[in-house]
């Protein structure tokens, strides 16, 4: 068996990759609060487009997870945000800029008891510069707006 070290980056384009699989892993056994906030390394000085997707399982609400956040991140402003939920274990709930200028994503579930998932990233615009997206901070709390 071939075991790849994460993140698995597929399809190089210039100095970055079109697919970044399992660039972050999250697990909680705390059933509440209901919101998860993730702060990325995408800062205010760049212009890019991504789709970030969560894939996993939420034991607490007994559903699989597949949900996606799509956005343009343009110099500190998130535009044309799309939130989609393929499986009902957790919902993509929002995209926002942190107070110090980084892109953040927010997820929601009615319960998080033993909720675990990974994040995949898909860079989608090849005529601009992309980066290896990472998560620099995460928090489970009751804030339905901007936490960071």
Partner 1 sequence: MANLSAATGIYDKKIQWGIFQFSNGSSSGNYIHMETSITQPSSNIMMMIEAVGYCYGASNPIRCAWRFYSYASVIGGGNNSSYTGMSADGVYYTSAGYVAIRAYTSSPYYLGFTLNAYPTAGNGTGQPVSIRRVSQNSTSGAYY
Asked whether position 15 contacts partner 1 by CB under 8 A, the answer is: no
C-alpha gyration radius of the chain = 15
Fill in the per-residue mask, 35 to 74: x = in contact with partner 1 (CB under 8 A), - = not in contact.
--------------xxx-x------------x-xxxxx--
Does residue 127 touch partner 1 according to CB under 8 A?
yes
Q: Which two tokens stand for residue 17?
A: 């990759």
Residue 5 in contact with partner 1, rule: CB under 8 A: yes
Site string for partner 1, 79-118 (x = CB under 8 A): xxxx-x-x--------------------------------
Supply the DSSP string of 3-44, one letter for each residue. -PPSSEEEEEETTEEEEEEEEEEEEE------EEEEEES--T
CB nearer to partner 1: give 126 or 146: 126
* 101: DSSP letter: S
Bridge partner residues of 35 (DSSP)? 108, 141
């Amino acid at each position: 068996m071939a075991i790849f070290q994460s993140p698995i980056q597929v399809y190089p384009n210039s100095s970055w990759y079109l697919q970044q699989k399992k660039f972050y892993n999250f697990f909680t056994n705390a059933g509440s609060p209901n919101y998860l906030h993730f702060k990325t390394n995408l800062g205010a000085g760049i212009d890019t487009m991504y789709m970030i997707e969560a894939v996993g399982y939420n034991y607490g609400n007994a559903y699989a997870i597949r949900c996606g956040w799509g956005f343009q991140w343009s110099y500190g402003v998130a535009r044309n945000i799309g939130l989609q939920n393929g499986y009902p274990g957790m919902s993509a709930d929002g995209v926002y800029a942190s107070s110090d200028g980084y892109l953040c994503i927010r997820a929601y579930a009615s319960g998080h008891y033993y909720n675990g998932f990974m994040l995949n990233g898909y860079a989608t615009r090849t005529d601009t510069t992309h980066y290896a997206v990472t998560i620099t901070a995460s928090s489970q709390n009751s804030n339905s707006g901007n936490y960071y």
